[in-house]
């Protein structure tokens, strides 16, 4: 009888915890509009864009909590957050890597950049990288949850983070944050990212505009949300190109590019391919099929054993020529993603 009462009491406490967590999430839920002005952090100085050949980098830095030593509970691992020491080590490595890019980078597109989260020990990574580069910065918040109640005995707690684009140039219009038109159902959607992309526009000397898009598409969705996002995306980027603009899209697509064959299609890793017919053939998917950009996080990284794939890459409109693209291998030392460098030329 005592055991039954204890079980009943425990069930009541657990149920109350879940209900209160959901109610709190409802009250504090971040509800971005479909189209809003993105946050801007200006550098001390910036220049007009007068170049035809441009160098881009993209990297999901995994909030500096998913380095080679880490696993993650939502991917089958055990870790909820890395130690403060590991987060600091990863952030130092991220900054050191990005600082090396400053000499040739025109645009740096980052994802999973935390501002104030329990998982990254309150480190303001957005400001830290901005101060390091002294570049103009555009930030699109896609994750703001006051309290994530799982796992039960070591909850993730509060998260504030998003996608950030860094560049030394003056924008010709205000940057925009676009909300993707889909989310998980209730109550799961209260605790997951509000997926978005940001748009930055620059005037080119031939009178046209260069449109830079930083994206981070859905994960853990079985492909359902990605399908809706990509339909929305397709219409948007084609309209930008048809308006006479140059369009570069980069980021973490959470799906593999057309033509890429994963090394192990029987893996339980969620591999969803963008169809070859998604866009006309004169659009260019820029990726390096020799260097993986993402690893499975069910266990710490082991070279030649951990499952890897490619989900971080660029897309170029037909009026842009791909010059080179290559993945930057670092053995996933600081993130569960590896960076990609891409150089392209605007056709005038």
Q: So where are the chain's domains?
A: 1-30, 34-346
164, 139 Cβ separation under 8 angstroms? yes
* Average pLDDT score over residue span 129-153: 89
Instruction: Work out the pLDDT band at 266, boundaries 50, 70, 90.
Output: low
Pair of tokens at residue 133: 């580069």
pLDDT value at residue 25:
46
pLDDT digits (tens, 9 = 90+) for 159-180: 999 999 999 999 999 999 999 9
Strands 196-203 and 176-179, sheet pairing: antiparallel
E strand segments, 173-227: 176-179, 196-203, 209-216
DSSP H helical segments within 55-124, as ranges?
Answer: 84-101
When mean pLDDT is compared over 169-173, 184-188, 316-320, the highest value belongs to: 316-320
Q: What distances in angstroms separate CA 46 from CA 139, 166, 168, 172, 275, one per listed residue? A: 17, 12, 5, 12, 39
* Average pLDDT score over residue span 287-313: 96
pLDDT value at residue 154:
81
Q: What distances in angstroms separate CA 44 from CA 48, 163, 182, one per listed residue? A: 14, 21, 37
**DSSP character string of 74-88:** GGT-S-SS--HHHHH
- Has residue 42 got a pLDDT over 90? no
- Has residue 236 got a pLDDT over 60? yes
Lowest-confidence region among 87-96, 188-197, 207-216:
188-197
- Has residue 239 got a pLDDT over 50? yes
343, 54 Cβ separation under 8 angstroms? yes
CA distance 337 to 161: 17
pLDDT value at residue 61:
98
Per the prediction, the chain carries an average pLDDT of 88
- CA torsion angle 217 221 222 225 (round to 10): -60
**Residue 188, C-beta contacts closer than 8 angstroms, at least 6 positions apart:** none
Of the two residues 261 and 243, the one the predictor is more confident about is 243
- CA torsion angle 72 76 77 78 (round to 10): 100
Instruction: Work out the pLDDT band at 16, boundaries 50, 70, 90.
Output: low
pLDDT value at residue 8:
56
pLDDT value at residue 142:
94
pLDDT value at residue 147:
75
pLDDT value at residue 24:
47
- Annotation: CATH topology of 34-346: Deoxyribonuclease I; Chain A (3.60.10)
pLDDT value at residue 22:
60
- Of 228, 200, 198, 202, give the one whose Cα is nearest residue 216: 198
pTM of the predicted model over 0.75: yes
pLDDT value at residue 26:
53
When mean pLDDT is compared over 10-19, 67-76, 80-89, the highest value belongs to: 80-89
């Amino acid at each position: 009888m005592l055991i039954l009462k204890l079980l009943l009491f425990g069930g009541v406490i657990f149920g109350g915890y879940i209900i209160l967590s959901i109610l709190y999430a409802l009250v504090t839920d971040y509800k971005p509009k479909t189209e809003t002005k993105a946050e801007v952090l200006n550098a001390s100085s910036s220049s007009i864009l007068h170049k035809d050949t441009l160098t881009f980098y993209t990297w999901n830095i995994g909030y500096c909590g998913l380095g080679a030593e880490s696993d993650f509970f939502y991917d089958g691992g055990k870790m909820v957050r890395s130690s403060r020491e590991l987060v600091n080590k990863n952030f130092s490595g991220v900054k050191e890597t990005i600082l090396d890019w400053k000499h040739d980078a025109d645009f740096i597109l980052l994802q999973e950049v935390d501002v104030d989260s329990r998982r990254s020990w309150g480190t303001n990574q957005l400001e830290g990288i901005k101060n390091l580069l002294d570049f103009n910065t555009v930030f699109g918040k896609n994750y703001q949850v006051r309290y994530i109640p799982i796992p039960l005995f070591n909850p993730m707690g509060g998260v504030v983070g998003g996608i950030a684009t860094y560049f030394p140039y003056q924008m010709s219009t205000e940057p925009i944050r676009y909300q993707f038109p889909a989310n998980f159902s209730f109550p799961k959607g209260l605790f997951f990212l509000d997926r978005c992309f940001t748009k930055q526009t620059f005037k080119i000397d031939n009178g046209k505009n260069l449109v830079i898009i930083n994206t981070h598409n859905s994960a853990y969705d079985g492909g359902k949300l990605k399908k809706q996002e990509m339909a929305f995306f397709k219409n948007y980027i084609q309209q930008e190109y048809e308006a006479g603009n140059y369009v570069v899209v980069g980021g973490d697509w959470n799906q593999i590019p057309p033509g890429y064959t994963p090394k192990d299609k029987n893996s339980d890793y969620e591999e969803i391919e963008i169809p070859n017919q998604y866009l006309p053939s004169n659009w260019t998917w820029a990726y390096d099929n020799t260097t993986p950009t993402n690893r499975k996080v069910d266990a710490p990284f082991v070279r030649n054993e951990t499952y890897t794939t490619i989900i971080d890459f660029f897309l170029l409109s037909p009026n842009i020529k791909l010059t080179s693209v290559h993945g930057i291998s670092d053995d996933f030392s600081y993130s569960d993603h590896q960076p990609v460098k891409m150089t392209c030329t605007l056709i005038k």
